[in-house]
A = this chain, B = another copy of it.
Amino acid sequence: MNEKEIIELFAARLGLQRKRMGLDDIAIVNAGSEILAFKCDMLVESTDVPKGMEPWQVARKSIVSCASDLASKGIAPYVALVSLGIPKGYPSSHIEGLADGFKAASGEFGVRIVGGDTNECSELVIDCSMIGRAGMRDRKIPSRQGARPGDIVVVSGAFGYASSGLKILINGAKAGEQFRKKAVESVLMPAPRQKFGIAMAKYFSSSMDSSDGLSTCLYELARASKVEILIDSEKVPVPAGLEEFARENGLDTGTLVFHGGEEFEIVATIPETRMEEARRYAKKMNLDLYAIGRVVKRGRGTVVVKTGSTRRQLEDRGYIHLG
C-alpha cells in the first residue's frame, strides 16, 4: 500500500470520510464556545531530512509543517507537543541542537511548546502535534472540499525553489550564487505563510499548503471538492533563474515547479465574486497573491494545464512515500 491508500483505508475505517475533513487535513473540533484546530506531522530522518540540514533546523522544520497546515486555514498556532524518537548513541550536541531548534521555532512562529515524549528509535523521528485556537463556533474554516466551479485558484508565492534546493543538496546540481542561496534556504529554513494565510483565509472556499508538491495539492483539492481545475502554466509564479538552473542541469522546469515538495506555499480557491476584494486586501496587506487558474466545472478531480493553446492533463505525481 502507498501512503494515499493507507490514508484512505484509515479514513474509511475510522469514519473520517463521512466528515468534512480527511485524515491528513487539519481536524476541527469544538471545545465549548471555541473551535480548535488540531494537527500532527511526523518527520522521519531518512525520508524528510535532506543532507546539510542541521539538527536545530530539523526540529524547527517539524514545527513549520504543522504551523503551515494551520496557516493555510488562516489559523495561528497556540500550543504544541513534540514526541521524539532518538537513535541510540545520537550525539548530545545534536540533542542540544534539537532543543535549540524547538526553542527558535517557538519564538519565530508564536507557538508555546508545552510538553512531549522521548523514546529510543532506530532513526530520528519527530512528531509535532499542534493546537490552534480557530475562533468562535460560527467561524467558517476552509476545508479541502469547498472549491466550486468559477472559483479562482490562487497561490501565495513562487514554486521551484524547494525542488531546486533539494537537487542542489542531494544531487549536487550546479547553480549561480544567488539562486543557490535562495533555493537551499527554502529547503533548510522553510517558513510557513502565516501572514498570508491569516490575512487571506476569509476569502478561501478551499485551501491547503503545498508541502507535498503543487500537483499533489491541486489534485487533492480537485478530488476532495469533486471538480476539474484548469491551470494556466504561464501564470504560475516561478523564481528568477529557474529556467537557467533547469537547463544547466538537464532538468525539466515543469517537474521542478509542479512535482516538487517541501514547499510551504498556500494553494487556495477564491469565489470569483470575492476576487477583486481579495486582490485589494492582499495589496493593502503588502502580500503577493497570484491567480494561476480556475475551477472550470464539477468533475472527478482532474487537473488540466494550459500552455499557450495546448492543454494536457497534469501528471498526479509528487511526494508519495511508501509503495
Chain B residues with CB below 8 A from A26, complex form:
115
- Given the known inter-chain contacts A14-B102, A85-B42, please indicate yes or no for A121 contacting B125, CB distance below 8 A: yes
* Cβ 8 A contact of A29, one of B22, B114, B322: B114
Contact partners of A121 in chain B: CB under 8 A: 42, 44, 46-47, 123, 125
**Cα distance A118–B47 when bound, in Å?**
12
Q: What's the Cα separation between A79 and B33 when bound, in Å?
A: 16
B119 & A321 in contact (Cβ 8 Å cutoff) = yes
Which of the 9-residue segments A1-9, A224-232, A246-254, A298-306 touches chain B?
A: A1-9
Output the nearest chain B residue to A7 by Cβ-Cβ distance: B118
Within the complex, which residue of B23, B29, B31, B95 is in contact with A116, where a contact is CB–CB below 8 Å? B23
Given contact pairs A1-B95, A31-B34, A129-B129, A114 touches B322 in the complex (Cβ within 8 A): no
| Cross-interface CB contact of A81 among B40, B48, B88, cutoff 8 Å | B40
Residues in chain B near residue A46, CB distance under 8 A: 120-122
| Chain A 214-232 per-residue mask, 1 if CB under 8 angstroms from chain B, else 0 | 0000000000000000000
Which residues of the partner chain B approach A36 to less than 8 Å between Cβ atoms? 31, 36, 131
Residues A322 and B88 in contact in the complex (CB < 8 Å), given A38-B131, A48-B119, A123-B121: yes
User: What is the copy number of this chain in the assembly?
Assistant: 2
Residues of B within 8 A of A322 (CB): 86, 88, 118, 120
A96 CB within 8 Å of chain B: yes
CB distance from A165 to the nearest CB of B (A): 21
Q: Does A269 contact B (CB under 8 A)?
A: no
Asked whether A255 is an interface residue with its Cβ less than 8 Å from the other chain, the reply is no
Measured CA separation A96–B1 after assembly (Å): 11
- Total chain A interface residues with beta-carbon distance under 8 A: 69
Contact B115 A38 (CB under 8 A): yes
> A40 near B122 (CB under 8 angstroms)?
no
Residues of B within 8 Å of A13, CB to CB, are: 96, 99-100, 102-103
- Contact, CB under 8 Å: B96 / A27: no
- Does chain B have a CB within 8 A of A113? yes
A72 within 8 A of B: no
New contact pairs (6) apart from A14-B103, A32-B133, CB-CB < 8 Å = A7-B118, A10-B98, A41-B83, A88-B322, A122-B122, A125-B125
Which residues from chain A sit less than 8 Å from chain B, CB to CB?
Answer: 1, 3, 6-7, 9-10, 13-14, 16, 19, 21-27, 29, 31-34, 36, 38-44, 46-48, 78-79, 81-86, 88, 92, 95-96, 98-100, 102-103, 106, 113-123, 125, 127, 129, 131, 133, 321-322
